[in-house]
């Protein structure tokens, strides 16, 4: 076998996991926000603001994780 594993846990693999996780997180966030806006349209402005802030935090963490994955 030569000591190689079937899954090579390298930086590109980590980047792929980060991107998949971020996409899943933002999609769940948007789904929940749209559902809550449909149920209570009178508070849609505050829900949109909270959604934008949460999405920015997710993206910030994603960029930080991509930076960490790309370092050697």
Note the pLDDT of residue 14: 85
Domain span at residue 35?
24-70
| Spatial separation of the C-alpha atoms in residues 55 and 50, rounded to whole Å | 9
Task: Average the pLDDT over 44-62 and give the result.
Answer: 94
Tell if the pTM clears 0.85, that is, is over it.
no
15 domain residue, yes or no = no
Give residue-wise pLDDT tens across range 14-38: 888 999 999 999 999 999 999 999 9
Note the pLDDT of residue 2: 59
Count of the separate structural domains present in the chain: 1
């Amino acid at each position: 076998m030569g000591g190689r594993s079937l899954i090579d846990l390298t930086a590109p693999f980590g980047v792929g996991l980060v991107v998949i996780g971020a996409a899943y997180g933002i999609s769940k966030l948007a789904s929940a926000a749209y559902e809550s806006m449909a149920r209570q349209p009178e508070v849609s402005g505050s829900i949109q603001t909270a959604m934008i802030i949460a999405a920015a935090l997710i993206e910030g963490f994603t960029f930080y994780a991509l930076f960490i994955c790309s370092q050697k």
